[in-house]
Amino acid sequence: MATAKTRRRRWLGWLWRLALCFVVATVLQVLVLRFIDPPFTAFMAARQFEALGEGDFGFRIAYDSRDLEDISPYVPLAVIASEDQNFATHNGFDFKAIEKARAHNERAEERARKRNRPVARIRGASTISQQLAKNLFLWKGQGVTRWARKGLEVWYTVLIETLWPKRRIIEVYVNTVEFGNGVYGAQAAARTYFRKDAKSLSAAEAARMAAVLPNPRRYSIARPGPYVQRRSNAIQRQMRYMGGPAFLQRID
């Protein structure tokens, strides 16, 4: 009996050590990236490996990180207007948006069942902080791995919101989010689609970039279809309603 208890204590000791190492490692990981621009993200690495697996050995990630001062203020404003209008006030999780999305999806699923059709579009409620946590550190995942990723996403979101100011969060997000197949960040997107630097992007161009999120491989900035055009116009209206670039002073 004493031997069994000893083994159990040893296992518990190892589990505590592993948990402590995980906490320390992830805190240091997030803390370092508060001050140093990430050279790449987990999603960039996954996309590069995906291309290699498809035999596309010439595929290259387009990524060029810039300080927020070197990016048009319309870019972070458009992204916030499009994806997370409560970004300035929430602590990483927008519970009102989550509840609205849940109710909307339940109604959509009910209508789809009555029509015997698949659900056309599921509404998400992830904040910019959650999306950044996923893009930087995690994977998309399916099945069980998806739920494991969701748990880690919550942890990394808490760390990012605790250790980074809001301005750093939006800066890293607009520099690392995918705007097209292998095109990451505002500067790479500006050069690829508009042949200019991110600092010179107009409100309309920034809104078009935000309109393809979160499906930049399904929708195109270069060839905007009716959906992207409608969404871009709606984003521009919301940008004006929010007060234009002056809104960004709320996240300083």
Tens digit of each residue's pLDDT (9 = 90 or more) over 175-218: 999 999 999 999 999 999 999 999 999 999 999 999 999 999 99
Q: Is residue 1 part of a domain?
A: no
Bridge partner residues of 178 (DSSP): 184
User: DSSP code of 73?
Assistant: T
Q: What is the mean pLDDT of the chain?
A: 90
Q: Please report whether residue 113 resides in a domain.
A: no
Output the domain CATH number for residue 47. 1.10.3810.10
CB-based contacts of 117: which residues, under 8 Å, 6+ apart? none
Number of domains in the chain: 1
pLDDT value at residue 121 = 60
pLDDT at position 56:
92
Q: Are 190 and 197 within 8 A, CB to CB?
A: yes
Percent of the chain predicted with pLDDT > 70: 88
Where in the sequence is the domain holding 36, given as residue range(s)?
Answer: 13-92+127-247
The answer to pTM > 0.75 is yes
**Residue 133 pLDDT > 90, yes or no?**
yes
Mean pLDDT, range 239-249, rounded to an integer: 95
**Residue carrying the six token digits 């999120």:** 213
Residue 63 — left, alpha, or beta (φ > 0 → left; ψ -120 to 50 → alpha)?
A: beta
Residue that is written with structure tokens 């083994």 in the block: 7
Dihedral of alpha carbons 107, 111, 112, 113, sign? positive
| Domain membership flag for residue 105 | no
Q: How many CA atoms lie within 13 A of 13 on its CB side?
A: 6
Burial group, residue 185, by CB count within 10 angstroms (0-12, 13-18, 19+): buried
Let me know if residue 117 belongs to a domain: no
- 18-65 tens-digit pLDDT: 999 999 999 999 999 999 999 999 999 999 999 999 999 999 999 999
Task: Examine residue 231 and state whether it is found in any structural domain, yes or no.
Answer: yes
Composition of the chain by helix, strand, coil, percent to 5: 65, 5, 30
Strands 183-184 and 62-63: parallel
- Residue 220 clears pLDDT 70, i.e. is over it: yes
156 vs 16, residue with greater confidence: 156
Has residue 217 been placed in a domain? yes
Residue 143 lies in a domain: yes
